[in-house]
Chain A
Amino acid sequence: MTKKQLKRVDIILSPYSVSPYQVLINTVKRSKDEVIKEMINSGLRGRGGAGFPTGLKWKLASEQISDEKYIICNADEGEPGTFKDRKILSEVPRKVFSGMAIAGWATNSTKGVVYLRREYKYMVADLEKEIEVFNNKAKEIGLDFSINIFLGAGAYVCGEETALIESMEGKRGEPRNKPPYPIQNGFKGKPTIVGNVETFASASMVCRYGADEYVKFGTNDQHGSKLFSISGDSPKEGVHELELGMSIEDFVHEFGDGDTKAVQVGGVAGFCVPRKHFKTTIIGEGQTTGGATMIFNSTRSMYHVLHNYLDFFVEESCGQCTPCRVGTQQLLKGIEAVKLGEKEPEYLEQLIKLSQTMKVASKCGLGQSVANSFASIVTNFKEEMIY
């Protein structure tokens, strides 16, 4: 364990003390290989939840031979409890665009797309202005890279990278089989980097500070700062930029309302940590996180919380694969039946096993992640499930 004290940092959300476009200009003067190496050395991992090493993704994409490649910024942010990308895009969009442009330059891609969730349509006008500024800037410095916005239409699963691509191609957002991965065969069959909003902003920051500085933040396996979307029973709801590696205990001490009973780490697709594990659970160790943390105090029924999550999954599953489409319905119906006494409490064990099947056999991350919150809530709050 490399437990750190809870530490606030101010890298991503800080105002532009150095213009992100200056960072871009400085970066594209270097060699592409060197920048990709820097990205690898920074240890930056994707901030969208899956935590794939960003530098490696860029490297793989740069090795693809193709007349066209795409850089897609995933701003579909649909996970309940997540709202940091909204904040980044409304406060420091240039960091994101500069990160996208660097990725584009490093991998020989000329087209960038921001896939913005439909629910954020009110942001489009401002973003378009900013994009125009960027596109002009790119022209001015002679960089062949332009960005536009693609508006989603309301489907959580479209945050999954291949579903997102299907959606951009005018289809139902059903995740594809992987392999092939987007970096081999993405939008319109071309190599495509899909990255989270925060990932691109962080990439720009890596270029600004250099990998050596950047790795000073975070844990052994996750470097840098991380934005946390904090909601629930907290007097300090909102987005906070923290260093990875603190314990939940510290976290709760800072953000809880004094009566915290459980913390959901990583949004509804993440884990629910009960009070008895606050001390031993380090945020960012072992599991990756998109940074959504929801805090529940002792007045909350964890049955109700789980029921709400499952309602969400039942609706937002794309429905194509069996474990997820039917499994989510079974979990929901199952906890209802146990609560009503129609099924024995032992049935919960059967359901946990089912959730494990969903974890190993579902086609995409949505179905695979349901088990995280399901098993952690059912195991740790069993009484609440039954009585």
Chain B
Amino acid sequence: MSVNLKIDGINVSVEKGSTILDAAKKINIKIPTLCHHEDLCVAGNCRVCIVEVEGKNKLEASCATPAEEGMIIKTNTPKIRNARKDIISLLVSEHNTQCTTCYRSTNCELQALSSEHNIDHERFLSVLKPHTKIDKSSWSIEKDDSKCVRCQRCVRTCAELQHVNALTVSGKGKEMKISTFLNLPFSDVVCTNCGQCITHCPTGALTERRYFDEVWEAIGDPTKHVVVNTAPSVRVALGEMLGMPVGTRVTGKMVTALKKMGIDAVLDTDFTADLTIIEEGHELLTRLKSVLVDGDTSVKLPMMTSCSPGWVKFIEHMYPEYLGHLSSCKSPQQMFGALTKTYYAEKNNINPKDIVSIAIMPCAAKKFEANRPEMRDSGYQDIDAGLTTRELGHMIKQAGLNFAELEDTKYDSFMGDSTGAAVIFGATGGVMEAALRTAYEVVTGREVPFKNLNILPVRGLEGIKEATIKIEGCLPAWSFLEGAELKIAVAHGLINARQIMDMIVAGECPYHFIEVMACPGGCIGGGGQPIPTNNEIRLKRIKAIYDEDEGMPIRKSHENPEVTKIYADFLEKPLGHTSHKLLHTKYRKRNRY
């Protein structure tokens, strides 16, 4: 059913249940907003989006008011402008307006509103609370209450998208603020470090902890050999930080930029993504064998992927009894770190203590992961710093590079080779697709039975995707799988992960193998990606990922020549002794509350 209304003199018809804001958008009338976010439920608390509804003295929040038949709306009258200016001025009056020293400057919704409406400091007195301390306790997340506009987007994100509920609103009246349990430091609460609250925060109140100064130091230190690995999803999002349209692929330019910045070796996380597929694929097949053939009850199925550190910390907090379901494989970042300071060091004859290993990630949780005490299998901290796509964008600006004009450069070798399978790790369903491309071939000797290797059922933004693959014509070593139906599922966003976990807890989980990514859309929508992120943007980044995959000469992990080589030269075989030492890890129980 549709309703018809008139906004600023223009007739518009929208689906019943749409808001006035939706209707205005449809006819290209832009109403300013702040607490509204496409990913989240309606809050209606900032009151920036007020409009006049004929017949009412009160102004209505357009984001929260359903469009009704016959409504006559005005979006730009003196009454609205005055009220809106008051409201933005009020937000500014409780704000620590230090834009010059703020990480979100030029990418801040409050700053933009304030600038558009030419807000000055004269209208109201400052009611900013003095002496708010910035919480820098976490490896990943920084919280600065003096920059908070109390839109509750973070709280809604942590609840609705992630179902972690690490953030809440506490107090009321002027004491109302965003808070963790008892206002404890971030490092001490159930936060998974996914960083989704950051990408949904309109201001500089929530940011990732920045490590680029340390990285610049290392680059400038002649005794250090600085190695960078860049995650698959960074190459389809970094352009947004540098003024390019959403969905632009900038792989070659990014490598050039990093080289120009003085990085000694620019390598590709894709290499360890492919390695992950080999290790994880064999782990899965081994588990299937243990369960199906040996009847070993200590081995858990379904097996779940472990490359998303936000997801790993989630399950450590929320379902500690089920850690056995997690693959023991480290994330590609950590595999990369462990190999950099062993294999890479050995081959290049560099003392690992002189290597500074940096990961460029779409992710906030990878910062925490890099600092986990478990992640020192090389004898050193395997990854010295994890930077976000956003931090890299800043560094490129700091370096004064004209990014759009840079030529393309190839990754250094070795540990720079990539396949299409590794690239798609960046999108939800990608790990699963890559794993199937390899596992199916290992077992049957044939390619997966999907056109162009594109396993479409696991792609896209649906919260939980599932597929069944019938295994036929097995090679002799895998004959126990003959005729088996492999059931797989893909979940992204922790709220969907929770649904899957609850199925497992209830003993009703039909799947053998499940891919989980903490962030909605997978890494392309990661907590370290450019802001804003919404479904429209996610879809464009995803498209870029699959385009990149299609353009690759090699699209299966097991065909990555460097992967073959590392097994020959260093690791010997999947799940072998060295693999176990460097590429696999253990998990720990954490507090549920």
Contacts and interface: CB of A to CB of B under 8 A. Distances in A.
Contact of B127 (A177, A333, A362): A333
Interface residues of B, number: 38
Contact of A361 (B87, B93, B169, B172): B87
A334 B125 CA distance: 7
B150 A319 contact: yes
A152 to B, nearest CB: 13
Interface string B479-501: 00000000000000000000000
Interface stretch (A130-138, A197-205, A288-296, A321-329): A321-329
A368 B58 contact: yes
Contacts of B42: 177
Interface stretch (B2-10, B59-67, B376-384): B59-67
A325 B50 contact: no
Contact of B94 (A314, A315, A329): A329
A179 interface: yes
B176 A322 contact: no
Interface stretch (B78-86, B391-399, B524-532): B78-86
Contacts of A359: 58
B174 A319 contact: yes
Interface stretch (A22-30, A250-258, A350-358): A350-358
A322 B173 contact: no
A75 B174 CA distance: 25
Nearest to A313: B173
A173 B171 CA distance: 11
Contacts of B169: 172, 174, 319-320
B59 A322 contact: no
A321 B125 CA distance: 19
B152 interface: yes
Interface in B539-561: none
A328 B174 contact: yes
Contact of A179 (B66, B83, B173, B175): B66
Contacts of A363: 44-45, 47, 61
A12 interface: no
Nearest to A342: B125
- Which of B46, B79, B127, B175 is packed against the most chain A CB atoms within 10 Å? B127
Contacts, number: 117
B57 interface: yes
Contacts of B59: 360-361
B58 A360 contact: yes
B90 A337 contact: no
A318 interface: yes
Nearest to B79: A360
A325 B127 CA distance: 11
Nearest to A343: B125
A362 B45 CA distance: 9
Given A322-B90, A329-B127, A360 B57 contact: yes
Contacts of A328: 173-174
B83 A360 contact: yes
Contacts of A337: 125
Contact of B173 (A177, A317, A354, A360): A317
A173 B172 CA distance: 9
B565 interface: no
Contacts of B125: 330, 333-334, 337, 343
B45 A320 contact: yes
A330 B128 CA distance: 11
A323 B47 contact: yes
Contacts of A36: none
A314 B174 contact: yes
A350 B123 contact: yes
Q: Which 8 A-B pairs have the closest CB atoms?
A: A319-B176, A326-B90, A357-B86, A177-B64, A320-B45, A177-B44, A357-B83, A317-B173
13 contacts: A315-B174, A317-B176, A319-B173, A319-B174, A320-B150, A323-B87, A326-B127, A354-B86, A354-B90, A354-B124, A361-B50, A361-B59, A362-B47
